[in-house]
Structure 1
Amino acid sequence: MKIDILGVQAFVAIADHGSFNKAADVLHVTQTAVTQRLRNLEIFLGVTLLERTTRSIALTRTGQDFLPQARRLLQELSAALTEIHETGKAQRGDVSIACIPTAGVRYLPQVIRDYSALFPDNRIKILDHASVGVAEAVLRREAEFGINLAGPNHPELTATPLLQDQFVLVCRDDHALARRKSVTWAQLQSHPLIFAGQASGNRALLDGYLGSESLHGGQGDQGGQAGLSLQIHYEVQRNSTALGLVEAGIAAAIVPNLAMQKGTYPRLRVIKLQGPVISRTLVLVARKAARLSPAAQILYDMIKNSRVVK
């Protein structure tokens, strides 16, 4: 149903000031405009709100019943518009962001801490998803923007590079490689490994560098490392699961460096991987046609300005 706000304004102004002429002055329009607005409202409602003669104006019974409701409607509308205006000026409001889990472990918390210090009343909803889920959450408007892995981009999304995150070997302090500062992929061939599962965006990236055959105990394909054959004994979808298995002494794991939160696992060691060095790029994604809320725009800009791409 269409709400005739102009007609309601005209009706209340006439009732409050007792004449069409004074109502026109208050609304800064002509008397003819006030008369037409009231007429349109009465036609829309199918009732007569005012009885008017050449000398007086009186509310009908229906008009008397409607007047307090009309005043309340205008007051609530005014309050709502004022709140939106002030919220925009003050950059207040709720923010919803989607991100891959590793971004929520080490990268995002630093920015959230700074943002919360500036806007302590703003509430932030963080949706941690796999890379496919991040894109879907932004496209479905469940999140205003997100932090995702770089890759084939949806035509409705923009992607701004944030940082490079190298893959590392994580093992327990009693592992045979624990004292090494760096190892090559070839030196891992004799060790059981925990790896990202097929549904993980990390797995697709590693497959591209090393060759899918290398990760299935084969001899490497033309796009990967010739002769490389890794022992993938365990596959997981979450890096946190991989780290838990390493902590239990099950095997060593290949994870992004951001997955390791300092001090969380005292017995775990992080070892650089070389030959080749493999990194993934984290990107800030948003809908191309999106106009972020003021509160979200500030957080978006803070994340964007904090990026470190090497």
Structure 2
Amino acid sequence: MRGCKVFDGRLETFIKVAESGSFTKAADILYVTPTAVMKQINALEKELSVTLFERTNHGLRITRAGESFLQDARYILEYIERAAQKAMEIEEGEKHRSIRIGTSVMTPAKFILDVWSQIQSRMPTLKIELIPFDNNPVNSVEILKNLGQHIDVVGGLYDENFLKERRCLAAHMYDKKILLAVPVTHALSAEALITPEKLKNRKVLFIHRGWNVYIDKLRDTLENGGIRTEDFEMFNISAYNRAVSENTPIITVEGWEDVHPLLRLIPTSWDDSIPFGVFYSPTPTKLVKKFIDLLRSVAAQ
């Protein structure tokens, strides 16, 4: 056994066989042939001088020695992955660099908190720096067009045209339901559920047409049902102050419950939603690209 070298490729194959209980199933997972899987396991057992699986007419059964090796193999692969990650960061000169996340009242960095434990387990040396910015029409556009200069990533709502106009990319995280924020003094503020019928002949504030196709689609539906709408320029505190001042419901999304203390987010009967993602430059650094790839992996789980 001394000097034995076990490559991580065979370790991964062994783990897949142990978890699936079959050479064929493991081969499907690894996109190789069952014969290739059997050869790797046979070679591994020969090199270790240990029987990892008992072959029977009914299939495979992992041995006690195999169960012990399985626990250690999982740890070894995780350790190798973290060691490789650390080495790459050092080589790239980015070990002490941070991901700079833009944040504002309307674009909080909460999305990173939701997945931080998973990110840190895969990128243990990663540091996060929050960069606050004023969410005004000019500033928000310039930040997205110049991602990578002062801010690396920022979360937000989008559609494909939004990304094209601002010359940035987005890692989709999830969809947010489009809701209604109602001033606490409004007649509908006590409702448990808002339906189009309850809004008929009432006015609702909508972000201007062309900002997002998903919101425009909902606006068309409500207007066809006899609901009056008026534009606001962008999602910011000024728009929500206007809703309170005019005592008028305003379109919003889940997650913005605490934007204004005098507005109440109320569930709606419609199922319309809007994509939420993490924006980044089309030419990201290697560190940012790894971060984005990891976010995508976590979001897909």
Q: Residue 278 of structure 2 aligns to a residue in which SS? A: strand
Contact 2:109 2:154 in 1 (8 A): no
1:85-110 per-residue CA deviation (whole Å, 9 max, x = no partner) reads: 85957731243345786332643565
Q: CA deviation at 1:167?
A: 1.3
Seen in structure 2, the aligned counterparts of structure 1 residues 151 and 171 have a Cα distance that, compared at 3 Å, is: same
Counterparts of 2:206 and 2:160, CA distance in 1: 20
**Which residue of 257, 261, 283 corresponds with 2:258?**
261
- The residue that corresponds to 1:207 in the other structure is 216
Q: CA deviation at 1:158?
A: 4.4
TM-score, reference length from structure 2: 0.51
Unaligned runs of 5+ in 1: 1-83, 212-223
- The residue that corresponds to 2:194 in the other structure is 183
Q: Which amino acid aligns with 1:244?
A: N
Q: CA deviation at 1:122?
A: 5.4
- The residue that corresponds to 1:242 in the other structure is 239
Q: CA deviation at 1:303?
A: 4.2
Q: Which amino acid aligns with 2:240?
A: L
Counterparts of 1:288 and 1:121, CA distance in 2: 22
TM-score, reference length from structure 1: 0.50
- The residue that corresponds to 1:37 in the other structure is none
Counterparts of 2:231 and 2:94, CA distance in 1: 50
Contact 2:176 2:274 in 1 (8 A): yes
Q: Residue 241 of structure 2 aligns to a residue in which SS? A: helix
1:14-73 per-residue CA deviation (whole Å, 9 max, x = no partner) reads: xxxxxxxxxxxxxxxxxxxxxxxxxxxxxxxxxxxxxxxxxxxxxxxxxxxxxxxxxxxx
Contact 1:99 1:134 in 2 (8 A): no
1:232-265 per-residue CA deviation (whole Å, 9 max, x = no partner) reads: 3562423422333344562221112222228x61
Counterparts of 2:109 and 2:278, CA distance in 1: 16
Contact 1:128 1:134 in 2 (8 A): no
Q: CA deviation at 1:207?
A: 1.8
Contact 2:96 2:127 in 1 (8 A): yes
Q: Which amino acid aligns with 2:145?
A: E
Q: Which amino acid aligns with 1:271?
A: I
Q: Which amino acid aligns with 2:263?
A: L
2:178 is aligned with 1:167: yes
Q: Which amino acid aligns with 1:269?
A: R
2:89 is aligned with 1:92: no
Q: CA deviation at 1:162?
A: 0.7
Cα RMSD for the two superposed structures: 4.3
Seen in structure 2, the aligned counterparts of structure 1 residues 105 and 92 have a Cα distance that, compared at 3 Å, is: closer
Seen in structure 2, the aligned counterparts of structure 1 residues 252 and 277 have a Cα distance that, compared at 3 Å, is: same
Q: CA deviation at 1:142?
A: 4.8
Q: Which amino acid aligns with 1:125?
A: I
- The residue that corresponds to 2:284 in the other structure is 290
Unaligned runs of 5+ in 2: 1-87
1:152-207 per-residue CA deviation (whole Å, 9 max, x = no partner) reads: 354975433111111111113332112222222343132232222357x34x5322
Q: Which amino acid aligns with 1:137?
A: N
**Percent of pairs with identical residues:** 11
2:243 is aligned with 1:251: no
Stretch of structure 1 that moved more, 140-149 or 249-258: 140-149
